[in-house]
Amino acid sequence: MWQKSNLVSYRHFRTGRRGLLVGGLQLGFCGLLAWRMHQLQVEKAESFRLVADENRINVRLIPNQRGEIYDRNGVKLAENEASYRVTMVAEDAGDIDLILERLSKLINLSTEDIERSKAELQRSAKFLPVTIIDRLEKDDIAKIAVNAPMLPGINPEIGFSRIYPLGEIFAHVVGYVGPVSSRDLEVRDDPDPLLRIPRFQIGKVGVERELESTLRGKAGTKRVEVNALGRVMREIERKEGSKGANLKLTLDTNLQAYVRARLGTESASVVVLDCKTGEILAICSSPAYDPNKFVRGISFDDYGTLRDDNRRPLASKTVQDAYPPGSTFKMVTALAALEAGIIDHRKKIRCNGHVEVSNRKFHCWKADGHGNVDLVKSLRESCDVYYYELAQKVGIEKIAEAARILGLGQSFNIEMSAVTSGIVPDKIWKQKTRSNEWVVGDTVNSSIGQGYVLSSPLQLAVMIARIATGREILPKLIKSINGIENERIQDKLKLNRNNLHLIRKALFEVTNDKRGTAYPARVLDKKSEIVGKSGTSQVRNISSVERTLGVLENKDLPWEQRDHALFVNYAPYDDPEIAVSVVVEHGGSGSTVAAPIARDITLQAIFKGTPPITAYPVEDRARIYNQQRELKKLMPKTTNSSKVQA
């Protein structure tokens, strides 16, 4: 009896506990439901009322300001200017044709603008704003504002447009922006929503393209209330975006402007490096173009003129083009031979004006030859036969290895478009690309920078900088991003220091010995003596008949058949600060055309402005004085007031 009573009591207790648990859960659920109903009906009632009332809440992107670009001293190279524009949201406009017709009666809206706008509105999502016209005057915006009730879906706005205050001087480096294309969207895995806004502008070439995401920043958003006609009644919520990062380049505006002016109308390119840091102080292709025309929409005629010009103003020749380096490559062959222990600086080779290899004559530029030639003389007087003979003993593999150590045959990671790696050929390369075996004639051609060898002006500047310093100089274009600098470590080259010294000694005589090929381009100021090597690379084959009758001079040939003129140098001799490469397309002789340009630019860089006239040889001073005066007229005025800390 006692046990039965206890059992009943236990079951009663267990049932009561379950009831309490279920009841508690039900009570909690009811409480949660009540809280949620209070939140929806009281706290967020206004928001849901607006949504329910003809779906009048729109969320729109707010384009942010693009980051600005400066030179090393804070001079603006790319900035944003306020611009009045008119956009249309298709879902708010209703009858698009009618609204555009009304708008065209208020402002100057061409038939082309209307048709383009219709096409963009058709392609775009209905909720995205499409720019109808920009760069309007304040009076136009006022007219639109007054007639707002008659223009549903039309929104006058203040936006920002890109402007390049120095025009063509930095065109090939900074580049330009333009409207997003379908191709731009295809190459991105997850495009930023900003890019889907019609006529939104992104970088197309140069730094603007290579650092697009850094410069673009992030868009903001806003929630707005609109009425039944689609007019914005009020802004409910706004989240500001973040401006793109500001960039400071390593370039010096005054030096870059001087280089551009010095090249004039030549089809040419120049690279100036800081030997201490690898920073690019100037990098210029000539002729150039005005990037502002592309931002505003270049006309068909203007683009056709640029496209069809045989001097290729649209090409960034400094990094995009690769040329036979000609005799500037001879120091590579010489270093390869020294490193392999095949020669020393006293070893002499006889030059009679040509050498026969595999039943083919390879000629020296000096028809009657140079006589007995050692290493220094071979570079000083640029003897070809010396290198023909040397290359056969060294072999292409060791020459190619030395070239790569000096920076040739590689694509440097700088923020410019289409940076070429050039060509440093070897046996494997020819088999892969030409499906042919390497022959000794290929080695002979390569020894003097002809044949398959191709190098960009940037690579040539790196090559001479590495020879000057014995360090693995890496070119650097971006000095800082939002004020934060990124330093690069420069390792020592895997080359014998004494061998590099021998090459430098020979290069010194090229410009400072009366027998040197570039002696006329010497500098008299002992603290800024330049050390360099000229090069003249052929772009056509000279037939045996022409050699018999007499080789035609460059001036007697069509422009596109003339030799390229090259010069590479560094200065000063004892403590290198500046390295320069110059390539003048179809310019003729490197020593008479490219070398004087390189000397003037080197002195301008060392003196950080116009050098003293006494730095030049006496016979050149009158000409240089007049030249300096004319070039100053062509250079823009960059005052302290235009400088802003990036």
Question: Cβ of 305: how many Cβ atoms within 10 Å?
Answer: 13
Mean pLDDT of 108-117: 85
Domain count, the chain: 2
DSSP class of residue 294 equals: H
Which has the higher per-residue pLDDT, 421 or 232? 421
The single residue of 316, 327, 589, 591 carrying the catalytic annotation is: 327
This prediction's pTM: 0.83
Give domain status of residue 284, yes or no.
yes
Average pLDDT over residues 319-328: 96
Residue 33 lies in a domain: no
Which pLDDT tens digit goes with each residue over 261-305?
999 999 999 999 999 999 999 999 999 999 999 987 788 889 999
Q: Which residues 6+ apart lie within 8 Å of 18 measured at CB?
A: none
Q: What is the pLDDT of residue 134?
A: 80
**Alpha helices (runs of H) in 406-543, residue ranges in sequence order:** 427-434, 440-447, 457-469, 497-512
Whether residue 7 is contained in a domain is answered as no
Look at residue 331 and tell me whether its pLDDT is greater than 50. Answer: yes
Q: What residue numbers bound the domain in which 546 lies?
A: 253-295+310-642
Cα separation of 86 and 88, whole Å?
Answer: 7
In the block, tokens 């596109």 appear at 560
Residue 399 to residues 172, 337, 392, 536, Cα–Cα distance (Å): 32, 8, 10, 20
Share of the chain above pLDDT 70, in %: 89
Tens of pLDDT, residue by residue over 461-502, are 999 999 999 999 999 999 999 989 877 778 899 999 999 999
Alpha carbon dihedral 606, 612, 616, 622, in 10-degree steps, equals 140
- Asked if pLDDT for residue 510 goes beyond 70, the answer is yes
Which ranges of 371-439 would DSSP assign to H, the alpha helix?
Answer: 375-380, 384-394, 396-405, 427-434
pLDDT higher than threshold 60 for residue 13:
no
Mean pLDDT of the chain: 87
- 389: tokens are 């003979």
pLDDT for 228 equals: 61
Q: Maximum distance among all alpha carbons in the chain?
A: 140
β-strands 478-481, 354-357: how paired?
unpaired
What is the mean predicted confidence (pLDDT) over 363-367?
91
574-375-580-269 Cα dihedral, nearest 10 degrees: 170
Q: How far is CA 595 from the centre of its chain?
A: 26
Q: Which of 214, 232, 249 is the last residue of a domain?
A: 249
Res 524 pLDDT > 90:
yes
Q: CA-CA distance, 578 to 270, in Å (whole number)?
A: 13
Do 189 and 206 share a structural domain? Answer: yes
Q: Is 213 exposed, middle or buried (0-12, 13-18, 19+ CB in 10 A)?
A: middle
Q: Are 449 and 349 within one domain?
A: yes
Residues 201 and 284 in one domain: no
Question: Which tokens go with 77?
Answer: 């190279």
Q: Is the pLDDT of residue 641 over 50?
A: no
Angle at 460 between CA 512 and CA 507, to 5 degrees: 20
**pLDDT value for 646:** 45
- Do residues 369 and 237 both lie within one domain? no
Domain of residue 224, CATH code? 3.90.1310.10
Residue 145 inside a domain? The answer is yes
pLDDT at 549: 59
Question: Measured in Å, how far apart are the chain's first and last C-alpha atoms?
Answer: 95
- The pair of three-digit structure tokens given for residue 135, joined into one six-digit string: 């760069």
Cβ(443)–Cβ(414) below 8 Å: no
Pairing state between β 531-537 and 564-571? antiparallel
Alpha-helical runs (H) found in 43-137: 45-52, 90-93, 96-104, 111-123
Supply the DSSP symbol for 230.
Answer: S
**Are both 231 and 289 inside the same structural domain?**
no
Helices 457-469, 497-512: crossing angle, 10 deg rounding: 110
pLDDT for res 58: 67
Q: Are residues 102 and 63 in the same domain?
A: yes
pLDDT class of 455 with cuts at 50, 70, 90: very high
Phi-psi region of 373 (alpha: psi -120 to 50; beta: other; left: phi over 0): beta
Other CB atoms within 10 A of residue 50 CB: 18
pLDDT for position 232 = 62
Residue 328's closest CA among 567, 521, 519, 529? Answer: 567
Query: Is residue 244 located within the same domain as residue 328?
Result: no
Give 642's pLDDT tier (boundaries 50, 70, 90). very low
Express each pLDDT in 197-237 by its tens digit: 667 789 999 999 999 999 998 877 777 776 665 556 677 77
Q: In terms of domains, do 382 and 507 share one?
A: yes
**Residue 336 falls within a domain, yes or no?**
yes
- Chain Cα centroid distance, residue 448: 30
Do 210 and 288 have their domain in common?
no
Alpha carbon distances (Å) from 248 to 194, 197, 346, 478: 25, 28, 49, 6
Q: Does the pLDDT of residue 191 top 60, yes or no? A: yes
Q: Are residues 168 and 290 in the same domain?
A: no
pLDDT, greater one: 255 or 634: 255
Give the mean pLDDT of 230-257. Answer: 84
In SS3 terms, 3-24 reads as HHHHHHHHHHHHHHHHHHHHHH
Residue 120 and residue 66 share a domain: yes
Please indicate, yes or no, whether residues 538 and 612 belong to a single structural domain of this protein: yes
Task: Identify the band that residue 332 occupies on the pLDDT scale cut at 50, 70 and 90.
Answer: very high
In a domain, 506, yes or no: yes
Q: Does residue 47 have an active-site annotation?
A: no
- What is the domain-level CATH number for residue 283? 3.40.710.10
In this structure, is residue 43 part of a structural domain?
Answer: no
Within a domain: 542: yes
Helical packing angle, 595-606 and 253-263, nearest 10°:
160
- The pLDDT value given to residue 359: 87
611 vs 507: CA distance, rounded Å: 23
Q: How far is CA 42 from CA 36, 54, 379, 625, in A?
A: 10, 20, 89, 83
